[in-house]
A and B are shown apart, each in its own frame.
Chain A
């Protein structure tokens, strides 16, 4: 276990803090200062990012007001009117679609690797899924634009429109243009991208469940599914949720894959098969073209909002995974 546990084991404490005989040597002082400064630099980077984002957003936020900026759907560079509502909605909706599609798939993969796969298959499947995570997002974007979007428009979209699109109430969401470039497509591509992250966290936490627990459940006659759903899941709940949050954090901030397929339209639509935009895709598309202080500042404000949202989500994920690791240590001790 590599998590931060405050062990008071004297041998360990001694190794990391040797008793200073007449103080540390000069070399030690220099080395300590150097490593300490590098560690603190990590904190400084984060602090600087926050400070610079706030500094950059001030002109726009002062002009429009923070609350008004958040809730306005206006986006007119010529008249210098900006609001964050449409990118925020696009970001949340596409990420939500990604989680709804990606979650069951990740769960299935983790279940397959930990409980079902024969030993010789576990490693190759695990590695293959991890490779999916290593592929850069721009590749997903290109593939999404040239290959997946046309396929989606031709085969999957009509299917969804003719089934879910006919359901009263739900129907308005499953409408749109037959382009394949839409918020929904972005969600699907995001789902493919985050599945490896969620699946590998789930696999790791599933594998921490002690053997005895599984075996005793099998011993009283549980089926494999019952072992997973009623024994493993309750034990690993916190870690699983942490993994989902990690995936969500990734999806919210993902830029290139989304920029290619979301369509980059500032119009708000209930229909999911219409082009939309996300915070990251708006910044990616417009930042270099933005002229005028207010325009640039509005885009930096979007960046600030994105950073705050992902910071909160990722912190929650981290807390949950730490809690999971602590509980694990408690059990094994």
Chain B
């Protein structure tokens, strides 16, 4: 076999492999989504939103208390985490862009971004659950807030950096102090990007289970009290999927579909939000 044929064959084999692996990746995505929709939709009904979790062995039931609990903790986490993240991002982009501490903050932020979320759960257990005597919705929200911050810091900095310097200079030339420049020019110009970061952070924490396992724990009953253990979707899905009852499994699938729809929906919104800014 001459060298030209050999090179052609190697090329053909490897490129075919690339096409096959891409197809494989897409196949798994399709398989996953198909199962999720097939199993989830079959159990999608009004009771899901109107009834609370069924106890062991009881029929029917829904996920109302888990949905409410998840929403409350997610909102609290964003209210705590997003302002901190936006301010820290503003520092990195506007005040300390070349400061030495910013290099450390960026580096640590990126590490926190991919740090194992279960360790965050252990951390919050130690600072909030153990000393204050018990699992609570607040500690769950704090654990989620710690996951929100790095996502928001990173997108905020990147988005504020995209704002052209000429806009800052124009505002400064009018006599605006720097805080006003940042607040009413830079943040405004970058607002869609910053919102994207917040939405991505919500998508990230919507399905997070590990940090809630021993902070918010779970609660079989409806409760709006954040100082008590709080029902939430991810831990409920975990418990129900591992449990022995068929109606628990059904509810776990329905809950999974609910979370996935929320996460995919948020991702699509962020893509639409960012599109005009791109290119």
Contacts and interface: CB of A to CB of B under 8 A. Distances in A.
Interface of A: 2, 4, 6-7, 11-13, 15-16, 18, 24-25, 27-28, 30-32, 34-43, 45-46, 48-49, 52-53, 55-56, 104-105, 107-109, 111-113, 115-116, 125, 127-132, 134-143, 145-147, 192, 195-196, 199, 223-226, 229, 246, 249-250, 252-256, 259-260, 280, 283-284, 287-288, 299-300, 303, 306-307, 310-311, 314-315, 318
Interface in B86-128: 87-88, 90-92, 94-98, 101-112, 114-123, 125-127
Contacts of A28: 177-179
A207 to B, nearest CB: 15
Contacts of B119: 49, 53, 253, 303, 306-307
Interface of B: 7-8, 10-11, 14-15, 17-22, 24-26, 28-29, 31-32, 35-36, 83-85, 87-88, 90-92, 94-98, 101-112, 114-123, 125-127, 146, 149-150, 153, 157-158, 161, 165, 168-169, 172, 177-180, 182-183, 203, 206-210, 213-214, 217, 234, 237-238, 241-242, 249, 252-253, 256, 259-260, 263-264, 267, 271
Nearest to B203: A134
A111 B149 contact: no
A142 B114 CA distance: 22
A17 to B, nearest CB: 8
A125 B165 contact: no
Contacts of B25: 105, 109, 128-129, 132, 195-196, 199
Nearest to A317: B114
Nearest to B17: A108
B95 A314 contact: no
17 contacts: A4-B102, A4-B106, A12-B97, A15-B168, A31-B182, A32-B95, A35-B88, A36-B91, A39-B88, A42-B153, A49-B119, A196-B25, A199-B25, A223-B8, A225-B15, A246-B114, A310-B114
A180 to B, nearest CB: 15
A29 B237 CA distance: 48
A130 B25 CA distance: 11
Chain B facing A: main interface SS: helix
Contacts of A15: 165, 168-169, 172
B32 A139 contact: yes
A314 B114 contact: yes
B95 A12 contact: no
B241 A127 contact: no
Contacts of B102: 4, 39
Given A136-B234, A246-B114, A24 B178 contact: yes
A47 B271 CA distance: 34
Contact of A136 (B161, B183, B259): B259
A318 B107 contact: yes
